[in-house]
Amino acid sequence: MKSGLWLFVLGLGELVIVGSYVVDRFTDVDLSSDTMTVLKVLIVVGAALIAGSAYRTWSATPTSVNLLATLLGLMAGATLASTVVTANDVQIYRSGLLGTLGTIGLVAAVAFAQVGMARGRENQP
């Protein structure tokens, strides 16, 4: 897959995760149980996309920046998935702190993955 498509996948996953975080923390919107379930599934899928994309970048170009993106993506994705899966029906995140850490970690993973992709393109002949 071309790196432009991977950047789109990373951006889409990041948009879902950051958008869900903003809705949960900064708005007073009451979401139905079905909407919460869909949002939780999208968060877990977005975290998996980011972690998988970061891993794909590292496996193609094993550099320290790509390794950092992969580790951040895996750890932050697991953190976010655990707090989303254990939340009750009226919450997106069970723990606000874990939601914050997972969101920040995944945003950092996307940033490092993009830096790694850019460096990989610079080094190609």
pLDDT at 121: 60
Mean pLDDT of 24-45: 88
Given pLDDT bands bounded at 50, 70 and 90, which one contains residue 116?
A: confident
Give the C-alpha separation, 37 to 33, whole Å.
Answer: 6
Long-range pairs of 32-40 with CB within 8 A, sequence gap ≥ 24: 33/89, 36/89, 36/90, 36/91, 36/92, 39/92, 40/84, 40/85, 40/87, 40/92
Contact indicator for 112, 50 with CB cutoff of 8 Å: no
Contact indicator for 39, 92 with CB cutoff of 8 Å: yes
Residue 124 confidence (pLDDT) above 60: no
pTM to 2 decimal places: 0.85
Higher pLDDT, 4 or 75: 75
